[in-house]
Amino acid sequence: MLQRDLHARGQATMDRVVQDRVQRVCTESGDRPPAELAKSLEADQMKTIAYPSGSLMGDWKRGESIAQNGRGLQWTDKPGDTAGGSCYNCHQLSPREASFGTLGPSLRQFGKLRGNGEEIQRYVYGKIYNAKAYNLCSQMPRLGFSGTLSEEQIKDLVALLLDADSPVNQ
């Protein structure tokens, strides 16, 4: 029915209509999957996260503009254009941006409260890359896994959250 009543437009191709296992399990369970199943699928999702070698901290200034940018992967977006993370659509981040959404938790002072050691860097990178590895039916997109953001962009967002100089931590 979805195959019949939708059509590809621009980069929004029909393969997107086909649910993967995560989407199917979350739809069928109303986002409340049985614990055992959730654990095993989260482990599968964890394996999709490709960690770059070296530091995971990029440039928080570039991270801020990625967080502001809500474009990417829509049929109105030019294929090949750099996408954003749409972060401010759902999260509070820098105190300088008053127009922030509340679908996700506030990330104000995220790094100030948690430090910026290797472990938290890996967590933030992984969470942005594939949020479903940590909470199977999270409403947050899998920004690395879906090909929305590049490795470099995710590193810049890690810096936005964790760098001591980032406005997020002021």
Residue with tokens 């030019």: 78
Contacts with another protein, 76-115, as mask; x by CB under 8 A:
x-----------xxx----xxxxxxxxx------------
Closer to another protein by Cβ: residue 53 or 76 = 76
Closer to another protein by Cβ: residue 26 or 128 = 26
Q: Which residue of 64, 116, 142, 166 would you call a contact of another protein, by CB under 8 A?
A: 142
Tokens of 102: 């509340």
Closer to another protein by Cβ: residue 45 or 116 = 45
The most distant pair of C-alpha atoms in the chain lies apart, rounded to whole Å, by: 51
8-16, 47-55, 107-115, 161-169 -> range binding another protein (CB under 8 A): 8-16
| 153 makes contact with another protein (CB under 8 A) | no
CA gap 148, 153 in Å, rounded: 10
| 4 makes contact with another protein (CB under 8 A) | yes
- For 85-108, the DSSP string reads --HHHH----TT------SS---T
| 21 makes contact with another protein (CB under 8 A) | no
| 139 makes contact with another protein (CB under 8 A) | yes
**Residue (of 42, 142, 63, 147) closest to 110 by Cα position:** 63
Helix (H) or strand (E) holding 74: none
7-15, 51-59, 112-120, 159-167 -> range binding another protein (CB under 8 A): 7-15
CA gap 169, 94 in Å, rounded: 8
First-to-last CA distance in the chain?
Answer: 50
- CA torsion sign for 120, 126, 128, 134 is negative
Residues forming contacts to another protein in the complex (CB under 8 A) are 1-2, 4-9, 12-14, 16-19, 22-23, 26-27, 30, 73-76, 88-90, 95-103, 132, 139, 141-142, 146-148
